[in-house]
Amino acid sequence: MVPRDMSERKNPYPFDVFEPKWQHVWDEEKTFKVHNPGEAGFDAAKPKCYILDMFPYPSGAGLHVGHPEGYTATDIVSRYKRMRGFNVLHPMGWDSFGLPAEQYAIKTGQHPSITTYANIDNFRRQLKMLGFSYDWDREIATTDPHYVRWTQWIFLRLYHSYYNTELKKARPVKELEDKGWSREEIDAVRLAYVADGMVNWSPDMGTVLANEEAEEWKSKGFTVERRKLRQWMLRITAYAERLIDDLDNLDWPESIKLLQRNWIGKSTGAEVNFDCNGKTITVYTTRPDTLFGATYMVLSPEHELVPQITTPEQEQAVKAYQAECAAKSDLERTDLAKEKTGVFTGAYATNPVNGKQIPIWIADYVLTGYGTGAIMAVPAHDSRDYDFAVKFELPIIQVVQPDDPATPWKDFCGYDGTMVNSEHFNGLPVPEAKAKMISWLEEKHYGHGKVNYKLRDWLFSRQRYWGEPFPIVWGEDGHHYAIPESELPLLQPEMEDFKPSGDPRGPLVKAKEWIHYSDKATRETNTMPQWAGSCWYYLRYIDPKNDNAFVGADAEKYWMAGNQKPGGVDLYVGGTEHAVLHLLYARFWHKVLYDYGLVSTPEPFNKLVNQGLILGEDGQKMSKSRGNVVNPDDIVRDYGADAIRLYEMFMGPLKEVKPWATKGVEGISRFLARVWRIAMVENQEGEWVLGGKVSDADEKTVTPARKELHKTIKKVTEDIEDMSFNTAISKMMECTNAMTQAESVSVVDYATLLQLLNPFAPHITEELYSILRGAFPQLGACQLSALPWPAYNPEYLVENTREIVIQVNGKLRDKLTVPVDITKEDLEAQALAAPRVKEFTEGKTVRKVIVVPGRLVNVVAN
């Protein structure tokens, strides 16, 4: 047994007794249950507020202290909003598909669902131990067959859809069938489609990996290789424009919006056709204005025209270079990014603007997958082309003169410049030249304006057991077919051996019976990535038990659309690690559903807040290997749930990265004990009983403590709205100190403080309030959580006098206490008469006096 170092210490207040007690009450009474429109108990008069946490992956390690950070923040806002008269939807669930459970199953032979559900039980216990006000009746797990059914249903919706570029929305492929499109033509435009592509394949794990996963597993010693495999893709690129444009209206951190914009990577430019012995080579450029500076052309080594244009003399060199590139992985390519390589093809292309012949090279700095896989090189005004040109001694022609004379033209890539050496474009500013060149190209049919995105389609299949199987079968004709909705959910077969099959079709190929769909069709053996479940879970919370739809229309309209402007989830809190992928994928799925009118808002999450990482006590990232991981179970055992909640909110601003300090939890625990002891005293037997300090006398006098209380109501209200929880707590500390110092405290005032503190520390405040209710019948019969949020009385905030700062030449020299309604003239006169002011203006001339009413007087003298 690990010795408890706190075992000798008596708890400063009996949290170990009343925290479980109140958690039990909330559970039994379903205190935080919220109803949908149409259900008994639904109050249509109240506005809605949907407050969402990023649901956790229930790992075997249990909660870490990062979870309660975001979860406490949303819990405070949820409890506050309920008191302000909102119907609050505040749910929790589990992102329960995932690799660790599968890896464990491979090792032990135990079905992954066993560990998954055991882990969920542990997570649920821990979250309940922290007193979060979730509506547990809405709990969901992405691994639940009822949930899997609808994940697959949405997938089929994607499968049956194409993107109509005129309407700019998803439409059923049925429309195309009706127009007589062929099977192949339709398959080529589906939002969910099959393609052969280069993917990261790990033979050790027997699965493909996303690019961002590949590096991580490689560093853990797994082998990852590039392999051309048939994979399911989702056509997220069709939505690139909408995904970028709709960011504008979202109440998200600008930094996250920027991250998404960069990820989608929109660029505007032109496609330009170059002639090469009658063959047309199309390049993409963002700088058509620099066409006169194009001195050579580069194709990617994999470009389809390379074999056709290469001259016999260069054939050997070109083939050798292509082989060299094919052997390189993506990682190796980027590692060697600094040093440019390439080979001349022997061919020349004609520059359409001036008819000049320019050499065509191949080089791996031109990527196959972006633009047209071919570029015109303008070494004077592109650093990559510049490096290449220098290395291979290709000509460099200036076509832009920087506006700033101090900037050299060589390698100048900016837009602040004027065209030179460009015939009739000379003298034009760059942006104008760019526009003019595009019109010229279009007029002469040499090219056209073009927008490109970095975003690639989403590799959606995995070769795993513990994921949603695709609801797809393959026919004898080699085509894929959707299974009927009535066959959903399609669950994984029962298997005993979860080991990778070594077959790139994944472990499910081993389930022979399951694969056999009919005599004419076999099942798809791939499964969906973990992202699938998290793409729409916020919609399922709205109507978690609906068997007829993934979400009921009325409930969806109420909780998502509501009465606010852009609509969607009102507050979504989680870590930055999901800034791009999860938040982009979920937005994409949501937009597809929106196109069909299945959801009523174009965006899922109206307001997003990222909580900052909590570092270990040593200021390093928490990790098992560093031994600096803090376990919430230990903190709750030693200090209680209210203390850890309050501490995590007091550490600093929610959004900042901040280090853990257990000493700080002690400080918070002392604060809560002081709140406790305002009302409670220990009797001879060592039991806590109500003391005499809190009384029902004196409801009217303006005492310092009462003044402080009303300032605190104002501050805490504003700070919760701002999510500035740390300053709200420090204000409540000041108020508590004022009450501690007071001779006696009115029970109404004390109860008001408890109410302000209730969203932060719900257990101790409910406990104290229930004890007070026993002695003061005027407090009524309900829990604090059922009371309306208190309002401050402005009369208590009015001050008669005010301290004014007196400065001489901007330096603090004196302070005056004056009536608040003093005139400017009087204040100035008093300031000038102040002895300290006289001392510092002695022998000087007063040049100017600045009077800021209610704040300061600055005397300027020299």
Partner RNA sequence: GCCGGCUUGGCGGAAUUGGUAGACGCGCUCGACUCAAAAUCGAGUUCGAAAGAGUGUGGGUUCGAGUCCCACAGCCGGUACCA
φ, ψ of residue 789 in degrees (nearest 5): -65, 135
Closest CA to 727 of 767, 755, 760, 678: 760
The CB-of-182 to RNA minimum distance in angstroms stands at 31
Name residue, tokens 């200021």. 619
CA dihedral 168, 173, 179, 185 (to 10 degrees): 100
Q: Which is nearer to RNA, 255 or 311 (CB)?
A: 255
DSSP run (H or E) holding 832: helix 824-833
Which region, left, alpha or beta, applies to residue 152 given φ > 0 means left and ψ of -120 to 50 means alpha?
alpha
Q: Which is nearer to RNA, 576 or 695 (CB)?
A: 576
Residues whose CB falls within 8 Å of the CB of residue 422, separated by 6 or more in sequence, listed in order: 289, 291, 292, 293, 399, 433
- Cβ 656 vs Cβ 612: under 8 Å: yes
DSSP run (H or E) holding 200: strand 192-202
Q: Which is nearer to RNA, 204 or 718 (CB)?
A: 718
The CB-of-85 to RNA minimum distance in angstroms stands at 27
The two beta strands, 417-419 and 480-482, are unpaired
Amino acid at 463: Q
Q: Which is nearer to RNA, 154 or 723 (CB)?
A: 723
The CB-of-174 to RNA minimum distance in angstroms stands at 34
The CB-of-300 to RNA minimum distance in angstroms stands at 6
Closest CA to 441 of 428, 453, 429, 450: 450
Beta strands in 85-126 (DSSP E): 87-89, 93-94
Beta strands in 678-800 (DSSP E): 680-682, 688-690, 694-695, 745-746
Q: Which is nearer to RNA, 9 or 512 (CB)?
A: 9
Which pair of structure tokens corresponds to residue 346? Answer: 């022997």
Q: Which is nearer to RNA, 148 or 757 (CB)?
A: 757
Q: Which is nearer to RNA, 587 or 658 (CB)?
A: 658
The two beta strands, 225-234 and 266-276, are unpaired
Q: Which is nearer to RNA, 509 or 613 (CB)?
A: 613
Q: Which is nearer to RNA, 164 or 830 (CB)?
A: 830
The two beta strands, 266-276 and 447-453, are antiparallel
Cα distance between residue 238 and residue 661, in whole Å:
48
Name residue, tokens 């444009």. 245
- Cβ 609 vs Cβ 602: under 8 Å: no
The CB-of-809 to RNA minimum distance in angstroms stands at 6
Q: Which is nearer to RNA, 564 or 740 (CB)?
A: 740
The CB-of-737 to RNA minimum distance in angstroms stands at 6
The CB-of-44 to RNA minimum distance in angstroms stands at 37
Which pair of structure tokens corresponds to residue 267? Answer: 């660029």
The CB-of-340 to RNA minimum distance in angstroms stands at 6
- Dihedral (CA of 16, 18, 24, 27) sign: negative
Q: Which is nearer to RNA, 287 or 773 (CB)?
A: 287
DSSP count for the chain of H helices, then E strands: 29, 35
The CB-of-367 to RNA minimum distance in angstroms stands at 4
The CB-of-654 to RNA minimum distance in angstroms stands at 9
Question: Rounded to whole angstroms, what are the CA distances from 144 to 118, 150, 156, 470, 852?
Answer: 14, 10, 18, 16, 65
Whether residue 602 has a cis bond before it, omega within 30° of 0 = no
Q: Which is nearer to RNA, 495 or 805 (CB)?
A: 805
The CB-of-316 to RNA minimum distance in angstroms stands at 22
The CB-of-215 to RNA minimum distance in angstroms stands at 9
- Cβ 765 vs Cβ 724: under 8 Å: no
- Cβ 861 vs Cβ 831: under 8 Å: no
The CB-of-546 to RNA minimum distance in angstroms stands at 36
- Cβ 254 vs Cβ 260: under 8 Å: no
The CB-of-455 to RNA minimum distance in angstroms stands at 8
User: What's the DSSP call for residue 742?
Assistant: S
Q: Which is nearer to RNA, 445 or 663 (CB)?
A: 663
Q: In what order do the strands lie in the sheet with 521-523?
A: 480-482, 472-475, 521-523, 516-518
Q: Which is nearer to RNA, 129 or 757 (CB)?
A: 757
DSSP run (H or E) holding 511: none
Name residue, tokens 């209710």. 773
Closest CA to 551 of 543, 560, 561: 543
The CB-of-552 to RNA minimum distance in angstroms stands at 37
Q: Which is nearer to RNA, 628 or 730 (CB)?
A: 730
Cα distance between residue 698 and residue 703, in whole Å:
10
